[in-house]
Amino acid sequence: MKIKALIFDLDGVIVDTAKYHYLAWKELADELGFFFSKTDNEKLKGVSRMRSLDILLEVGKVELEYDVKLQLAAKKNERYVGMVKKMPADEILPGVLSVLKAAKEKGYKIALGSASKNAMTILNQINISDLFDAIIDGNKVSNAKPDPEVFLMGANELNVKPQNCVVFEDAAAGVEAAHNGKMFCIGIGTKENLAEADIVIPSFENFTINDFEKIISR
Ligand code: B16
Ligand code: MG
């Protein structure tokens, strides 16, 4: 593999925003009168905002008109953004910053490939937007993961062929998206959750660019 670019998912890879998503969704479920558990929240990882709402409503067995759903999604997002904007910069996950910087120094191109429409807000909040050569987020794509659009758009903006890109993903839908785009995928998490990933690492903690190069030279 001649790897020239690294594409990072955001939520769950660079920063653990899942906990804020959970709090905001749970508040909505509480208001609608049902319990939304942390286990249920796992199903929302990597999934778009409106699809997340549909999953939440399925859990609560609640059926609503589309207009109402739009209002609820907006309400949840307002609460979520309120929390994210208070997030301190040191919430960037351990090891991520050093891998990003080392990759850049070694001449790899770096892109973000996230389903989130709030990606810019989050990157600015943790002061790392300057490290990316391309930022593809939920505002730019029309097809959610597992569609490969977000990663293919990233490769295209970087001017690198998909087969020369590696994707870092924490969600099964994202791993599938990377593979649908013919990209090698390093899962961040557990083998149980990310069985389809080419290799899984628990996190970037103690992970170096040399470890990365060993993986891609196999
Ligand atoms: P927003 P990622 C995804 O981000 C999250 O994993 C998912 O839980 C969320 O619903 C989605 O972004 C949309 O986020 O409501 O901020 O647009 O993992 O693809 O970086
Ligand atoms: Mg993610």
Task: Give the chain's domains with CATH numbers.
Answer: 5-15+90-216 (3.40.50.1000), 18-84 (1.10.150.240)
**Separation of alpha carbons 49 and 90, rounded Å:** 25
Does position 28 have pLDDT exceeding 90, yes or no?
A: yes
Q: How many helices (H) and strands (E) in the chain?
A: 9, 6
Phi, psi of 173 (to 5 degrees): -65, -35
The mean pLDDT value of the chain amounts to: 97
Does position 195 have pLDDT exceeding 90, yes or no?
A: yes
Phi, psi of 127 (to 5 degrees): 55, 40
Does position 101 have pLDDT exceeding 80, yes or no?
A: yes
Ordered strands of the 109-113 beta sheet: 134-136, 109-113, 5-8, 165-169, 184-188, 199-201
Give the pLDDT score at 12.
95
> What letter would DSSP give residue 92?
B
Which of helix, strand or coil describes residue 1?
A: coil
Does position 1 have pLDDT exceeding 80, yes or no?
A: no
Which of helix, strand or coil describes residue 134?
A: strand
Give the pLDDT score at 218.
80
Per-residue pLDDT band at 154 (split at 50, 70, 90): very high
Q: How far is CA 34 from the centre of its chain?
A: 27
Paired tokens of 53: 């709402």
Per-residue pLDDT band at 196 (split at 50, 70, 90): very high
Catalytic residue list: 9, 11
Give the pLDDT score at 164.
98
Among protein residues, the one whose CA lies closest to atom 8 of ligand 1:
45
Which of helix, strand or coil describes residue 35?
A: coil
Which of helix, strand or coil describes residue 211?
A: helix
- The rounded Å distance from CA 115 to ligand 1 centre is 5
Per-residue pLDDT tens for 48-76? 999 999 999 999 999 999 999 999 999 99
Element of type H or E holding 167 = strand 165-169
Does position 5 have pLDDT exceeding 80, yes or no?
A: yes
> What letter would DSSP give residue 198?
S
Index of the ligand 1 atom closest to the CA of residue 77: 15
> What letter would DSSP give residue 15?
B
**Taking the alpha carbons of 55, 61, 66, 72 in that order, is the dihedral positive or negative?**
negative
- The rounded Å distance from CA 70 to ligand 2 centre is 23
Provide the β-strand partners of residue 6: 110, 166
Whole-angstrom CA distances from 108 to 39, 169, 187, 194, 208 are 36, 18, 19, 25, 14
- Whose atoms come closest to the Cα of 18: which ligand? 1
